[in-house]
Amino acid sequence: MSQSTSPKQLKGHERLLLWLVVFLIRVWSRTLRFKWGSDVQALMDQHFPPVVAITWHNRLFASPEFFRRYFSQRKVATLISASSDGGWLAGFFETLGIKPVRGSRYGRGAQAFRELLAAHDEGYDVSVTPDGSRGPIYDMKAGAVTVAMKTEAPILLLSLNFGGAWRLKSWDKFYLPYPFSCIQVKADLVGHYSELGTEDPKAAAQILKSRMDAITEDTWVHAHD
């Protein structure tokens, strides 16, 4: 018997619990303070077409709030695991107006890829966590580059660096920022993938990793295990 490729969906009682969790996270997230330098401000002041935005998996908690505050006029689609854990995350993003695309494990890789391309064609920024959904941590897989090559969209690297946070004992040491803490935003607009100097997705991914590492800080002030 072949394995089902349908994404895991939340049941009725799970959706009720999700709404409660979403409410608490929204209250929590609105206490966070974002700061950035003049280089990031210059990027934010630009008007650019739909992008492929790349961020690490362990910084997902604060990403929706950042986009809600500062990019509410833009539509965002994001790749979420088709697993049961991904069902919770997909439901969370849906309540925030972010379009989840379910993949890439459980046999949905090709379908998820097509859905990401379709979302971009509809005017969505495509957000990808290249080390998700199971790691290894900070591993830049080639999928995000492949999406950028197919769509010819600009590539935006985004890192949210936490001034104070708890860290879960998950594979990615997921960040939960302290309420009222400060988050430093760093970004690098790569532009068209041709600027990476190679059409090999794996080689391009390693170049992107190097540039992503340059804006990623695991201990900007202090993060507690």
The string of pLDDT tens digits covering residues 113-152 is 899 999 999 999 999 999 977 889 999 999 889 999 999 9
* CA–CA separation, 181 and 194 (whole Å): 38
Give the model confidence (pLDDT) of 168-206 as tens digits.
Answer: 999 999 999 999 999 999 999 999 999 999 999 999 999
Q: Is residue 211 part of a domain?
A: yes
Give phi and psi for 3, each to the nearest 5.
-75, 135
Cα 130 to Cα 144: distance, rounded to the nearest angstrom: 6
Q: Return the SS3 of 95.
A: helix
Q: What is the domain count for the chain?
A: 1
Residue 130 domain-assigned (yes or no): yes
**pTM for this one?**
0.86
Identify the domain containing residue 45 by its residue range: 33-224
Query: Which H or E run contains 189?
Result: strand 182-191
CA angle, residues 220, 31, 179, in degrees to nearest 5: 55
Structural domain contains residue 196? yes
The predicted-structure confidence for 61-82, as pLDDT tens digits, reads as follows: 999 899 989 998 999 999 887 6
Whether residue 3 lies inside any domain: the answer is: no
User: Is 178 inside a domain boundary?
Assistant: yes
d(CA 144, CA 6): 22
The reply to whether 57 falls in a domain is yes
Q: Is 128 part of a structural domain of the chain?
A: yes
Q: What's the rounded mean pLDDT across residues 85-113?
A: 75
